[in-house]
Amino acid sequence: MKNYIWILVFIFLSGCKSQIKQEKEEEKLLTFEVDLQQLSEKGFDDFYELEEVIKLETTDRSILGDIKKILAGKDRLFISSWNHPGILVFNRDGKYLYQINKQGKGPGEYLEITDVLLTEDPEELIVYDRSGRFLHYDWEGNFLREGKMDSYISHVERLPDGGWLTDHALAHTSSFRDSLYILRASDSSGQYIQGTVALPVTKYILPLRMVSNLYQNEGRYYGIPVIENTIYEYNYRDAEFSPRYIYQLRDYPVPDASKLSPAEMMKPFIYDYYIFNSEYIGENTILLIAWRGGVKENSMLTLVTDKKSKKTEVFQAIVEDKKNELPLHRYLQHTGFKGKVVAYTHPLELQQRTFSDAHSVGARLSEELNEESNPVLLIYKEKESF
């Protein structure tokens, strides 16, 4: 009888080890080779299926331009845009509720929003401003408290344990001492825990105004250092960064930043190669934006990668949902949508189109809205097969 029990224990432990081994194999590093000159003839709808359309109400106080970040929390949407100094709040049906605009120089006010975060328990909106402060508000916009980080941050995400995952782009600061990394994890007080990808030696701060290259979804956290075309995952339970996905771009090799002077840093990483951000990492696909300054043609591209085949489709920045006849903007970041992909379309662009199907989603929206209407949010889910 005892031998029988030990056999069962052995089988159970062997099964656990096999499962752990399998999980680790599934998380192995993947490399994708991409030719940016080969634009795809496919559509966004070949990879993602439209699930929800949210028409954001247009009022005198809720006018939106291009969207920078969308935060979903319970029954509300908090939207940061490039043309508005505050945060506009809508319900999940798109009805405008109110705005949180605390721009100023007084107590509880921010100079300019660099990034914004949302927590549901407690219900807090956290603004990181360009002066290096974290300003905490409740969901109605009432000021709660203020904190400060020890350096400039380009983008930030809140970890479940109250800590911070931060992207420092090329912002060098001596206060880091022995923790000079582009991607850093800190505790709730800002104390360094772990980092990856060393900051190049620079003598100036080079902040980059762009959409976040940090992405989090249901407990998984990702980041893309500005000097690499590699997506890293941060496991906050083990306090460990791991490279997950490497993109090798034909004709656009990534320079070795450690060998460049400060003067050389500015040109290569802004003009000579593509910077990644706006990423979405799903079970089957990776979606991101690649952009390059100083060029007029193909300065911004949308990449969609099928993890299984390792093939990447390259699209223009505004990618087309052909089935629904929708031009989609994906230069944004979003959290709180539980594995879904968020894009938006401008009614003005719909007004200027000729539709082949009068009953398509795009055609119907063009009839319902006018050129001064707010952007329309489009929520997609991954297709299981392509």
Q: What is the pLDDT of residue 260?
A: 76
Contact 272, 287 (CB under 8 A): no
Of residues 298, 307, 226, the one with CA closest to residue 27:
307
What the chain holds in terms of domains, given with CATH numbers, is 33-382 (2.120.10.30)
Contact assessment for residue 254 and residue 228, using Cβ atoms and an 8 Å cutoff: yes
For residue 294, give the amino acid letter: G
The residue ranges of the chain whose pLDDT is under 70 are 1-27, 172-179, 201-209, 262, 266-270, 294-296
pTM over 0.85: yes
Q: What is the pLDDT of residue 199?
A: 81
End-to-end CA distance of the chain: 52
- The predicted structure's pLDDT at residue 172: 58
C-alpha dist (Å) from residue 344 to 53, 87, 209, 270, 323:
9, 17, 20, 26, 16
DSSP assigned state of 271 = I
Question: Given its phi and psi angles, is residue 194 left (phi above 0), alpha (psi -120 to 50 degrees) or beta?
Answer: beta
Give the Å distances, CA to CA, from 71 to 216, 272, 333, 334: 11, 32, 9, 6
Q: How many CA atoms lie within 13 A of 290 on its CB side?
A: 30
Where do we find the tokens 């912002």? 171
The pLDDT tens digits for 87-125 are: 999 999 999 999 999 999 999 999 999 999 999 999 999
pLDDT at 252: 86
What is residue 22's predicted lDDT score, i.e. its pLDDT?
45
Between CA 247 and CA 230 the distance in angstroms is 6
- Per-residue confidence (pLDDT) for residue 174, from 0 to 100: 45
**pLDDT score for 169:** 83
pLDDT at 386: 73
